[in-house]
């Protein structure tokens, strides 16, 4: 679980605008054009807590949607070192995901969870990083009616090159990019009771990454 300590919210509007622009450019440099932004921001308004979600459509090279937060890195988390204080998180969706019905909880949960986890650092005074797990309640419940996923693993993006993992803005700010991988309850229990490396091996062996498949096999279900 994430650590909780004091955090610092960056409230300088110019700094936030520059950082959000840099995040968008970073996504376009490594993944593709940002074609839409789903977010909290209202035109003509400014709020340092706004969390937007950038959408990059499928391409021949990357035949899936990529969704990444913009705004989480406006919060300085109480990290153990300076290079871990800022982050954005992403996930990927199959190209047949129903973006025409985002009022339906069965289709909007990846977007909502990106925003909720990104806001977690602010609402819980928390430090989030790779290898942390986020359950959907206690006891954890399915995130939607069309899947038994009931939590998430924050991980390094498994489907992207290592150069993508960090974005440096000037000398002082380093933004880390993490992915969220939906987990079944048994998988979350496995990560908590065993070495996380064993679970990553299961992910690699079964070719599971941040591209969401709501029907994928449970990697820790006893046969």
- Give tens-digit pLDDT for 128-165: 999 999 999 999 999 999 999 999 999 999 999 999 99
pTM of the model: 0.87
pLDDT bracket for residue 193 (50, 70, 90): confident
Mean pLDDT of the chain: 86
CA 185 centroid distance within chain: 19
**In the chain, where the domains are located:** 3-205
Measured from the Cβ of residue 18, the count of other Cβ atoms closer than 10 Å reads: 14
Q: What is the mean pLDDT of residues 96-100?
A: 90
Integer Cα distance of 55 and 23 in angstroms: 13
72 or 223, which is more confident? 72
d(CA 219, CA 223): 10
CA 125 and chain centroid, separation: 17
**Predicted confidence band at 125 (pLDDT cuts at 50, 70, 90)?**
confident
**Residues 169 and 40 sit within 8 Å (Cβ to Cβ):** no
- Using the predicted structure, report yes or no on whether residue 114 has a pLDDT greater than 70: yes
């Amino acid at each position: 679980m994430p650590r909780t300590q004091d955090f610092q919210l960056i409230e300088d509007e110019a700094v936030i605008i520059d950082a959000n622009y840099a995040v968008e450019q970073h996504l376009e440099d490594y993944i593709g054009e940002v074609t839409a932004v789903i977010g909290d921001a209202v035109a003509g308004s400014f709020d340092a807590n706004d969390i937007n979600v950038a959408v990059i459509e499928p391409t021949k090279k990357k035949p899936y949607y990529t969704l990444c937060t913009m705004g989480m890195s406006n919060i300085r988390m109480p990290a153990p070192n300076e290079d871990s204080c800022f982050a954005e998180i992403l996930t990927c969706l199959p190209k047949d995901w129903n973006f025409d019905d985002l009022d339906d909880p069965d289709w909007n949960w990846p977007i909502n969870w990106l925003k909720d986890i990104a806001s977690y650092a602010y609402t819980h005074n928390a430090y989030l990083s790779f290898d942390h797990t986020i359950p959907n309640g206690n006891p954890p419940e399915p995130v939607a009616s069309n899947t038994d996923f009931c939590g998430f693993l924050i991980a390094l993006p498994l489907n992207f090159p290592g150069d993508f993992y960090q974005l440096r803005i000037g000398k002082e700010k380093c933004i880390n990019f993490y992915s969220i991988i939906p987990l079944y309850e048994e998988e979350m229990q496995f990560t908590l009771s065993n070495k996380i490396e064993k679970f990553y091996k299961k992910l690699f062996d079964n070719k599971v990454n941040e591209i969401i498949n709501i029907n994928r096999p449970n990697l820790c279900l006893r046969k």
